[in-house]
């Protein structure tokens, strides 16, 4: 019986030591690098026609946004929005209009300048604006834009 008690005592002590060491090793600390990979191939690189992280995540570094959340901020909020293709932006008409001021030095891969017409075209395609002849095969985000009355460049 005493051998069973001492074996049980040793097991409990080792378990407590192991759990204590494991929790100390897993204490969070800031900084470092997180390597994350996807195990599936993206179905396409058309980020407007795909809705899953399996497509959007690997494709996003290949595209630019007007604005985005600052990746160095721990919490996303209106104060953590930074410009990428937009230098600045303002709300007008009591918050009913959002005006973007685009960077001037942006060019497409073929050297053509990036313009407000390019932005308008992209948003008109995604929101399926009346008169658009270009259509997406699938449009998982169309409802995001249903309250937009108009886009002008």
List the Cα angle 41/44/59 in 5-degree steps. Answer: 80
> 102, exposed or middle or buried, with CB in 10 Å at 0-12, 13-18, 19+?
buried
The architecture in CATH of the region 66-145 reads Alpha-Beta Complex (3.90)
Tell me: the pLDDT tens digits for 56-94? 888 888 899 999 999 899 999 999 999 999 999 999 999
Residue 82 tokens, joined: 């930074």
Residue 142 tokens, joined: 């169309």
Of the CA atoms within 13 Å of residue 150, those in its CB half-sphere come to 2
List the Cα angle 83/85/87 in 5-degree steps. Answer: 50
> 55, exposed or middle or buried, with CB in 10 Å at 0-12, 13-18, 19+?
buried
Confidence of residue 146 (pLDDT cuts 50, 70, 90): very high
pLDDT at 21 (0 to 100): 57
Residue 51 tokens, joined: 């809705």
Domain ranges of the chain: 66-145
């Amino acid at each position: 019986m005493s051998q069973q008690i001492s074996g049980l005592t040793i097991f409990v002590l080792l378990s407590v030591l192991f759990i204590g060491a494991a929790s100390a090793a897993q204490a969070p600390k800031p900084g470092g690098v997180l390597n994350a990979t996807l195990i599936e191939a993206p179905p396409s690189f058309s980020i407007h026609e795909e809705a899953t992280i399996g497509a959007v995540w690997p494709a996003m570094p290949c595209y630019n946004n007007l604005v985005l959340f600052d990746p160095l901020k721990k919490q996303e909020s209106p104060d953590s929005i930074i410009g990428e293709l937009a230098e600045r932006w303002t709300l007008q008409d009591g918050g009913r209009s959002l005006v973007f001021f685009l960077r001037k030095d942006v060019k497409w891969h073929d050297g053509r300048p990036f313009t407000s017409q390019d932005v308008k075209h992209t948003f008109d395609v995604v929101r399926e604006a009346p008169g658009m002849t270009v259509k997406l095969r699938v449009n998982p985000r169309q409802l995001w834009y249903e309250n937009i009355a108009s886009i002008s460049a």
